[in-house]
Amino acid sequence: MGNHVVWQDRFNIGVDLIDREHKKLFNILNSLFELSEQEEKSQWVCREGIKYFKGHTMKHFAEEEAYMASID
């Protein structure tokens, strides 16, 4: 795999749920990188993957903002 992002423990914020979600975002990005390197995969697959990443990211950060607001 040419391009990828690597999770590092220093990215942890100490809230298990949020840390797991951040790791999932890294995994989704790495999957997209892998898809982009496979010529047999269509542009449609990559577009759908990007839509999934966008949807998951928006949901995650809305939940994270609600959590942050709940703890001031």
CA angle, residues 16, 22, 27, in degrees to nearest 5: 125
Contact in structure between 28 and 60 (CB atoms under 8 Å): no
For 45-72, write each residue's pLDDT tens digit. 778 888 888 998 999 899 999 999 999 8
Contact in structure between 53 and 29 (CB atoms under 8 Å): yes
For 11-33, write each residue's pLDDT tens digit. 999 999 899 999 999 998 888 88
Let me know if 8 is exposed, middle or buried by CB neighbors in 10 A (0-12, 13-18, 19+).
Answer: exposed
Closest CA to 23 of 34, 31, 12, 33: 12
pLDDT recorded at residue 19: 93
